[in-house]
C-alpha cells in the first residue's frame, strides 16, 4: 500500500487483524506500562492539541486512558476508543479513581464508528501507530475531525528507543499481515505528512524525548516488558519452546536497555509529536 493511496483492505483480513490485535494488547498488563513508564505522555499530547472545556474529543487507540483522562479532566467531552475491551475496562476504573467522566467505546482505527466531522479534536498517543494499514487509519482520523479541527498524534520514532526495540524484536516475531507497515513509521514526519496529504494544513511536527526513570538496568527493562507489553509477549510466544532463540532475544533486549541507560539512571525515549488542522 502506497503512502498516498487509499486502498480497500479485504474485510476478512481486517477482521483477522482485529482478533489478533485484541489478543495481543489484552495480554500482559499494558495499563502498568502507561502508569509506570509513560504516565505523562498523554497529558503532553492534550496540551499540544490545546484541548479545553467543551471540546468534542476522540482518542483513538486510547488504551487505558493515558490521554483520554487528562482531556476529560481539562473539561472536554471525550470518547476513548480502542480495539481491546480489557484496556477500556481498566481505563474506566482509572477514570473513576481520578474523577474523570468520559465515554469508552470499542472501535477499530481502520473503521471508526463515528460520523464525518463529529469531533473538534481527534488524537492518538502511541495508539493509532499500531493499526497496520497506515493510510486507512490516517484517512479515518481526518474524516471524523470537523473542518478546522485538530488532529494530534504521538508516535515512537524509528531511531529512538522503542523503534530500536521493535527492530530487535522483528527477527523473532511472527510475520506481519500482507500490506502492513511498521508502527514506527508514524514517528517519521515525511511519512505522516504523506499520509495526511492535502486533507490537513498547518502541520507542526516536533521530535521530543520522554525521560523514563523506571528501570535500573537493561535486564529490568526486558523483564518488565516481557511481563506487561503485548508485542513483546507475542514475540516470545511465537518462539514457543525454542529456548536458544528466546535466550538470544533475552540478551538482545537487555543489551538494548543497557545501551540507552544514562549515568543518572534514566533513559530518553524519542517520539514525534504532530499537530495538524483539518482542511
Distance of alpha carbon 39 from alpha carbon 77, whole angstroms: 21
User: pLDDT value at position 7?
Assistant: 56
User: pLDDT value at position 8?
Assistant: 78
DSSP of the chain, one letter per residue? --TT---PPPHHHHHHHHHHHHHHHHSS-HHHHHHHTSTTHHHHHHHHTT--TT-EEEEET-TTTTTHHHHHHTT-EEEEEES-HHHHHHHHHHHHHHT---EEEE-BTTB--S-TT-EEEEEEESSGGGSS-HHHHHHHHHHTEEEEEEEEEEEE-TTSHHHHHHHHHGGGSPPPPTT---GGGGG-HHHHHHHHGGGEEEEEEEEEEEEE---SSHHHHHHHHHHH-HHHHHHHHHHTT-HHHHHHHHHHHHHHHHHH--TTS-EEEEEEEEEEEE-
Q: Confirm if 218 and 257 have CB atoms less than 8 A apart.
A: yes
Domain 11-167+175-210+271-278: which topology?
Rossmann fold (3.40.50)
- Kindly list the domain boundaries of the chain, sorted by start residue: 11-167+175-210+271-278
pLDDT averaged per 10 residues in sequence order, the chain, 279 residues: 53 94 95 97 98 98 98 98 97 98 98 98 98 97 98 98 98 94 98 98 98 98 98 98 98 98 98 98
Strand 119-125 versus strand 103-106 pairing type: unpaired
Distance of alpha carbon 213 from alpha carbon 106, whole angstroms: 32
In the block, cell 483522562 appears at 69
At residue 205, φ and ψ (nearest 5 deg) are -130, 135
Sign of CA dihedral 86, 268, 195, 279: positive
Amino acid at each position: 500500500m502506497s503512502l498516498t493511496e487509499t486502498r480497500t483492505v479485504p474485510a476478512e483480513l481486517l477482521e483477522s487483524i482485529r482478533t489478533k490485535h485484541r489478543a495481543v494488547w489484552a495480554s500482559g498488563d499494558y495499563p502498568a506500562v502507561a502508569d509506570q513508564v509513560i504516565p505523562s505522555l498523554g497529558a503532553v499530547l492534550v496540551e499540544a492539541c490545546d484541548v479545553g472545556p467543551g471540546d468534542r474529543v476522540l482518542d483513538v487507540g486510547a488504551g487505558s486512558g493515558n490521554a483520554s483522562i487528562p482531556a476529560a479532566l481539562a473539561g472536554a467531552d471525550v470518547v476513548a476508543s480502542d480495539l481491546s475491551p480489557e484496556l477500556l475496562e481498566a481505563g474506566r476504573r482509572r477514570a473513576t479513581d481520578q474523577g474523570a467522566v468520559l465515554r469508552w467505546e470499542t472501535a477499530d482505527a481502520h473503521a471508526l464508528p463515528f460520523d464525518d466531522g463529529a469531533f473538534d479534536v481527534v488524537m492518538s498517543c502511541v495508539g493509532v501507530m499500531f493499526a497496520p494499514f497506515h493510510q486507512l487509519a490516517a484517512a479515518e482520523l481526518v474524516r471524523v475531525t470537523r473542518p478546522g479541527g485538530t488532529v494530534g498524534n504521538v508516535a515512537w520514532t524509528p531511531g529512538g528507543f522503542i523503534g530500536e526495540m521493535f527492530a530487535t524484536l522483528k527477527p523473532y516475531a511472527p510475520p506481519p499481515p500482507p500490506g502492513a507497515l511498521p508502527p514506527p513509521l508514524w514517528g517519521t514526519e515525511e511519512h505522516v505528512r504523506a499520509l495526511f496529504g492535502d486533507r490537513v494544513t498547518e502541520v507542526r511536527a516536533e521530535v521530543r524525548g520522554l525521560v523514563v526513570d523506571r528501570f535500573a538496568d537493561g535486564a529490568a527493562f526486558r523483564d518488565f516488558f516481557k511481563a506487561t507489553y503485548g508485542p513483546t509477549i507475542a514475540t516470545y510466544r511465537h518462539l514457543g519452546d525454542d529456548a536458544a532463540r528466546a535466550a538470544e532475544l533475552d540478551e538482545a533486549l537487555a543489551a538494548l536497555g543497557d545501551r540507552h541507560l544514562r549515568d543518572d539512571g534514566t533513559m530518553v525515549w524519542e517520539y514525534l509529536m504532530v499537530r495538524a488542522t483539518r482542511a
